[in-house]
Amino acid sequence: MKARFWVLILVVGWLAGCGEQGPETPAPVEESEADTGPAVLSSTDEFQATSGDFGPREEMPGAALYGAKCAHCHAGQVPKAPHLSWLEMMTPGAILRAMNGGIMAVQSEGLTEEERNHVAEYITRARVGSDAVAETPMCSDGIAGFDRAKPAAAVGWGHDTSRFVPREVGGIDAANATNLELKWAFAFPGALRARSQPSIGYGAVFVGSQSGLVYAFDLEQGCARWTFQASAEVRTGIVLTPGAAERPLAFFGDILAKLYAVDALTGELVWSRRADDHPSATLTGTPALDGERLYVPVSSLEVIAAADPAYECCTFRGSVLAVDTATGETVWRHYAIPEAPSATSTTSAGTRVLSPSGAPVWNSPAVDHRRNRLYFGTGENYSTPADGNSDAVIAVDLTTGERVWQRQSTAGDAWNVACMMADNPNCPPEKGPDFDHGSSFVLLDKPDGKQVLAVGHKNGTVFGLDPDNAGAVLFAQKVGRGSIQGGVHFGMAVEGSIVYAPINDMNDTRNGDVLDPEQARPGVHAIDAVEGTVLWNHVQEDTCGPDRPFCDPGVSAAITAAPGVVFAGHLDGVVRAYARDTGDVLWSYDTTQSVETVNGLAGKGGGMSGAGPAIGDGHLVVNSGYGLYFHEPGNLLLVFAPAEAP
């Protein structure tokens, strides 16, 4: 399922009906793209400051109100009604906007202002007003300051999954990477995580946030040229129309599976739509833009709903949706599991099991014009029996969306959150291992004119597949031990025929697995995609120390390459630049140190996951702070540039 990041769940009040089936200790939950589950972080002071003073959740004033007004729709059975698992990740302000004149206005009729506040606090476990957004410093020349002479380049997620930025586009290479200095930083107000992939164009950097605000910052000054309020947290990258365009657009999605197109130069909404009506659907993977089509990966968090023994697991099927960029209308949809789920058995609790289900898609698709193909990967099945569509590489026709071929990397993988709870009958007998394909695939050229599809896997293997022969394996190089959190997690990078593979390999994933630390290979590894051989390994030393229990040396986030260098944000909060030829560290910066910010708020980074560094127009842009799944929180957007010569 979505990036297998684990979050510490507060079991009390998690799902009505868990009751005595709950785990003996707080259990971690994975993110289905995900990046995510309940808005709970791993017992940090920051989280306790906003939610630790409520007492038992079932005794909160909003508990009965939620049960009477909301629960019947948000238990995971009503199309378009987001499951409570997603509502928990929203801010109190977002919940109140929906009730006070928004989509939930009719359902909220009859509630007083105080009662609406109680409902918002019950859902989010945060005080109303705790998410108040500090005023963002706006540019004095407003949107007039965008530079049309610097349009967005077709690099990075949304355009090119190689995540390689040429010198003429990015202005950064191995020669000046050693001279990078912090230029400015922005602290996301009230945030514990920063994971939207930034994009650079028109002299600006575009990025989403936990609050649902999307920002267009001036790249030089750090002031905002516009902001846009989405319905909920924006985790996808911001995909910009590349090149000269009369009206360039910015595309992105939020955790409630709502897809947006806004004017990149004004922030005005052009269109929006729900990408999937399933109540647990979400958008985590960055859409791929190809001319007049946008290919949108759809994931979910139904694995959390399955923790309730009375919940009929499961009905979600991962998909990729092709939409018209001008209107948002559907061109085609390809389900990872072609057939709709049906009742196949019952659990010992008498609950129906629906299958096949799952196979979410939370990676950014790769476009292949030579063969008119689209490639994407899937996650695990949610219910038994596991089928051949989970943990698979899938190729579909760009024009029609029809499947051309598929290759399964891990057979028999069915898993949901019930597997982390003692004797929960909703746990599939397969019980994992939950080895998704969360990393985007990369198509690269060989000297003989042929191509290789480079595929990373959470078990620590990098595959080279033959796109002309139904994904036949050309090489398989295991560079990491692998685990439920990776292995290769969010995204590799490529320069020429060199594949850079980030490896997470956490020793303690908090799911009960017994892992051999001697086999862990956290860090960055380089592979020759022509020969399938390892060029170098850089296994990062663990320098976290006992006072940082949620710090890890590995690389979960996507990485980004420039000529002669590759940049990686680690879970220890340090972003490092590695030399292409040797793997030596050329430059590093500790994002966990306190920094001054352009908006005057306290800023501090943390573990980095999901999005990777962005390079463009002579700048390196990094989001720092994940704050979920036992990773350190943070709230920083950091912008670096090479120091000027004296």
Amino acid identity of residue 466, one-letter, is D
Instruction: Find, among 555, 450, 581, 424, the residue nearest to 501 by Cα.
Output: 555
pLDDT in tens, 410-460: 999 999 989 988 899 999 999 999 999 999 999 999 999 999 999 999 999
Cis peptide bond upstream of 487, omega within 30? yes
Q: Which two tokens stand for residue 413?
A: 């993988």
Question: Which band of pLDDT confidence, cut at 50, 70 and 90, is reported for residue 71?
Answer: confident
With residues binned 3-state (H G I as helix, E B as strand, rest as coil), the percentages for the chain, rounded to 5, are 10, 30, 60
The CATH number of the domain holding residue 10 is: 1.10.760
Position 134 scores a pLDDT of 66
Task: Report how far residue 184's alpha carbon sits from residue 177's, in angstroms, rounded to the nearest whole number.
Answer: 17
Position 24 scores a pLDDT of 29
Co-location of 117 and 222 in the same domain:
no
Position 406 scores a pLDDT of 98
| Residue 530 and residue 446 in contact, taking contact as beta carbons nearer than 8 Å | yes
Angle subtended by helix axes 113-124 and 62-69, to nearest 10: 90
Co-location of 117 and 194 in the same domain:
no
Of 74 and 137, which is predicted with more confidence? 137
Instruction: Find, among 127, 117, 90, 355, the residue nearest to 235 by Cα.
Output: 90
Amino acid identity of residue 78, one-letter, is V
In a domain, 138, yes or no: no
Overall average pLDDT of the 556-564 stretch: 98
Co-location of 313 and 385 in the same domain:
yes
State residue 304 phi and psi, 5-degree precision.
Answer: -75, -40
**Would you say residue 8 has pLDDT above 50?**
no
**Would you say residue 140 has pLDDT above 50?**
yes
Co-location of 79 and 186 in the same domain:
no
Tell me the β-bridge partners of 317. Answer: 358
Strands of 403-559, DSSP E: 403-408, 442-445, 451-456, 461-466, 472-478, 493-495, 498-503, 523-528, 533-539
Amino acid identity of residue 26, one-letter, is P
In a domain, 131, yes or no: no
Picking from 124, 157, 189, the residue at the C-terminal end of a domain is 124
Picking from 95, 124, 153, the residue at the C-terminal end of a domain is 124
The CATH number of the domain holding residue 604 is: 2.140.10.10
Q: What DSSP assignment string belongs to 338-396?
A: -SPPEEEEE-TTSPEEEES-B----S--EEETTTTEEEEE---BSSSSP-TTTTEEEEE
- The residues, any chain, with a CB within 8 Å of residue 113's CB and separated by 6 or more, are none
Co-location of 94 and 173 in the same domain:
no
Cis peptide bond upstream of 70, omega within 30? no
Co-location of 261 and 190 in the same domain:
yes
Overall average pLDDT of the 254-265 stretch: 97
Position 77 scores a pLDDT of 65
Instruction: Find, among 579, 612, 588, the residue nearest to 498 by Cα.
Output: 579
Of 211 and 78, which is predicted with more confidence? 211
Task: Report how far residue 624's alpha carbon sits from residue 634's, in angstroms, rounded to the nearest whole number.
Answer: 6
Provide the sign of the torsion angle of the four alpha carbons 198, 608, 572, 217, taken in this order.
positive
Overall average pLDDT of the 282-306 stretch: 95
In a domain, 134, yes or no: no
In a domain, 159, yes or no: no
Residue written as tokens 């698979």?
392
| Residue 260 and residue 249 in contact, taking contact as beta carbons nearer than 8 Å | no
Q: How many domains does the chain have?
A: 2
Question: Which band of pLDDT confidence, cut at 50, 70 and 90, is reported for residue 9?
Answer: very low
pLDDT in tens, 453-479: 999 999 999 999 999 999 999 999 999
Co-location of 90 and 172 in the same domain:
no
pLDDT in tens, 503-550: 999 888 777 677 888 889 999 999 999 999 999 999 999 999 999 988
Picking from 62, 94, 124, the residue at the C-terminal end of a domain is 124
**Burial classification of residue 140, based on how many CB atoms lie within 10 Å of its CB (0-12 exposed, 13-18 middle, 19 or more buried):** exposed
Co-location of 389 and 476 in the same domain:
yes
In a domain, 443, yes or no: yes
DSSP state of 321: E
In a domain, 145, yes or no: no
Q: Which domain holds residue 33?
A: 6-124
Question: Which band of pLDDT confidence, cut at 50, 70 and 90, is reported for residue 26?
Answer: very low
Co-location of 228 and 169 in the same domain:
yes
DSSP state of 32: S
**Would you say residue 6 has pLDDT above 60?**
no
Task: Report how far residue 506's alpha carbon sits from residue 502's, in angstroms, rounded to the nearest whole number.
Answer: 12
Overall average pLDDT of the 380-389 stretch: 98
In a domain, 586, yes or no: yes
| Residue 114 and residue 199 in contact, taking contact as beta carbons nearer than 8 Å | no
- The residues, any chain, with a CB within 8 Å of residue 619's CB and separated by 6 or more, are 171, 172, 183, 200, 205, 219, 639, 640, 641
Name the 3-class secondary structure at 117: helix
In a domain, 149, yes or no: no
Co-location of 189 and 73 in the same domain:
no
Co-location of 528 and 602 in the same domain:
yes
Position 330 scores a pLDDT of 98
Percent of the chain with pLDDT over 70: 89
Residue 246 to residues 128, 264, 265, 400, 530: CA-CA distances in angstroms?
42, 11, 10, 29, 41
Co-location of 86 and 19 in the same domain:
yes
Overall average pLDDT of the 71-86 stretch: 70
